[in-house]
Structure 1
Amino acid sequence: MQFEQALNAEYRDKIIWVTGVGQGIGLAVAKHFHALGAKVIGFDRHFSEPDALYKQIVCDLAQPEQVEQILAELIEQQLAPYNLIYVAGVLEMGELEALSLSQWQHCHNVNAASLFAFIKHCGAHFKQQRVGSLVTIGSNAADTPRQQMGAYCASKAAATQLTLTAGIEWANFGVRCNVIAPGSTLTPMQTGMWQDEQGAQRVIDGFAEQYKLGIPLQKIATPEEIAHSAVFLASNLSSHTTMQVLTIDGGATF
């Protein structure tokens, strides 16, 4: 109960930026912050539950130049964030020889280049205020290679290092930056890879022929489980935690 009270006290009327709020983890994060009284500004192309948002920013995170202009305007309007939660991500599948350059670039634009744009535009504000927190939703694939996921793995590794670099550059200003690295999570990205109703169990069991271990906890994460950790890491309850990668994958990459 004390934790919940502390979070409510911290986030009441605070502006929180969350990307990828249209579905999955991003939506769960937005709803959690909204329930704590925060003013959530959500970024995405489509919005499934706008009631959880203080403001909807329609944008294509595959176009970092467009994102930069939007962020500059928001900051000019005094809508800079107290916390930034970068959740948006895309997956492009294919063996390296079969991947197109456009697929590679799409993955990197959404997963890393637009994150860079957010970091760049929030940095001066965070440093001036000497308060703030960045949580990036990365992936356990950032340091564990996956067959047919080269673009995704590389882009999530880039996102991880971008976040940790921001953490060391901003540490003297009291601004914290951390990464959450989920494994398989029950989102449209995950279920889109399943071929039938046995898809979940196959993921839990692992794919020996792909050198991919199963999940010791014998379940797939929910978006809410990731969201709870994101809110905690962003909050003052973890005030001495920065430049860390929290892997939440049920033991899949122990």
Structure 2
Amino acid sequence: MGFDSLLQQEYRNKVVWITGAGQGIGQSIAEKFIQLGARVVGFDKQFPRTHNLFKAVQCDLEDLTTLQATLTELIQQGLAPYNLLNVAGVLELGELESHSLEQWQHCQHVNAGAVFVFLKACASHFKQQGLGSIVTVSSNASHTPRQSMAAYCASKSAATQLTLTAGLELAPYGIRANVIAPGSTLTPMQTGMWLDDSGADQVIQGFASQYKLGIPLQKLATPEEIANSVLFFASSLSSHTTLQVLTIDGGATL
């Protein structure tokens, strides 16, 4: 039996929660799980007009109190997840002294606070279920400082450690938790930082003045490349892998 058949058998009618499913990496991940027959519940501020999600939950991941109530309601409706995939993220740029408290809180709430709320909401369910996994899409910036990215780096570090801690606590129940740490990926977040059409080339070559290496593979990642790794870590293909951080950045943080 091939990998595709094994995955289709594993995911047929399974509920998978994916944050940030409306665009970029999250959308690519959602498409892969939908193709495998999963019932994908996506969380985001907005979604494409045409999507194949089992349920699209339009929400503000910064509003943690409302989010907590929403997740409780979904679990009560019988839509607790087999896999929890934390993908949503926001970026605030600026040197530390010019960063506002609002920018700091925005990054912390969406990139780390929401991960905490999702993990907390699902912990009891995962213990009772005794199977499934958690994957958080963090960033290579979680372990490599970047100029003008203080809030982003800190929030992604927090998301990484939250996930690993949850994995340690849930391991006795057979639940796995891993982290994917992408580098520069061709998403709206990445292109939004470019000043002109040379943006991709500049990222690939690096920024010596910012102590940022280029990308040895000489290309940006695609959302699908990140999604493939998320699928591997989420599924039974990696059944003995937990508490790991996989950096996927073309060698940029060698």
Decide: shared fold, TM above 0.5.
Answer: yes
Partner of 1:222: 222
Off by >4 Å, runs of 4+ in structure 1: none
Gaps of 5+ in 1: none
CA distance in 2, matches of 1:63, 1:158: 18
Partner of 1:187: 187
What amino acid maps onto 1:37 in structure 2? Answer: G
Gaps of 5+ in 2: none
Give per-residue Cα distances to partners, 1:56-80, cap 9 Å, x unaligned: 1111001111110000000000100
CA distance in 1, matches of 2:132, 2:50: 25
Q: Is the 8 A contact 1:40 1:54 kept in 2?
A: yes
Partner of 1:74: 74
CA distance in 2, matches of 1:51, 1:90: 22
Question: Deviation at 1:138?
Answer: 0.2
The reply on whether 1:14 has 2:14 as its aligned counterpart is: yes
Write the mapping of 1:152-171 to structure 2, written as runs, cut at 5 A. 152-171=152-171
The reply on whether 1:115 has 2:115 as its aligned counterpart is: yes
CA distance in 2, matches of 1:31, 1:65: 29
Q: Is the 8 A contact 1:24 1:223 kept in 2?
A: yes
CA distance in 2, matches of 1:169, 1:50: 39
Partner of 1:147: 147
What amino acid maps onto 2:212 in structure 1? Answer: K
Partner of 2:53: 53
Residue 98 of structure 2 aligns to a residue whose secondary structure is: coil
CA distance in 2, matches of 1:69, 1:129: 21
Question: Deviation at 1:112?
Answer: 0.3
CA distance in 1, matches of 2:191, 2:58: 25
Give per-residue Cα distances to partners, 1:25-58, cap 9 Å, x unaligned: 0000000100111000000110016422000111
Question: Deviation at 1:2?
Answer: 1.1
CA distance in 2, matches of 1:50, 1:79: 22
Residue 52 of structure 1 aligns to a residue whose secondary structure is: coil
Q: Is the 8 A contact 1:22 1:49 kept in 2?
A: no
Q: Is the 8 A contact 1:214 1:252 kept in 2?
A: yes
CA distance in 1, matches of 2:64, 2:242: 26
CA distance in 2, matches of 1:45, 1:190: 18
Partner of 1:177: 177
RMSD (Å), alpha carbons: 0.8
Q: Is the 8 A contact 1:50 1:56 kept in 2?
A: no
The reply on whether 1:32 has 2:32 as its aligned counterpart is: yes
Residue 81 of structure 1 aligns to a residue whose secondary structure is: coil
Partner of 2:248: 248
Residue 218 of structure 2 aligns to a residue whose secondary structure is: coil
Give per-residue Cα distances to partners, 1:99-151, cap 9 Å, x unaligned: 00010000000000011000001000000111110000000000100000000
CA distance in 1, matches of 2:103, 2:111: 12
CA distance in 1, matches of 2:23, 2:78: 27
Aligned length: 254
What amino acid maps onto 1:195 in structure 2? Answer: L
CA distance in 2, matches of 1:48, 1:134: 25
TM-score by length of 1: 0.99
Over the matched positions of the two proteins, sequence identity in percent amounts to 65
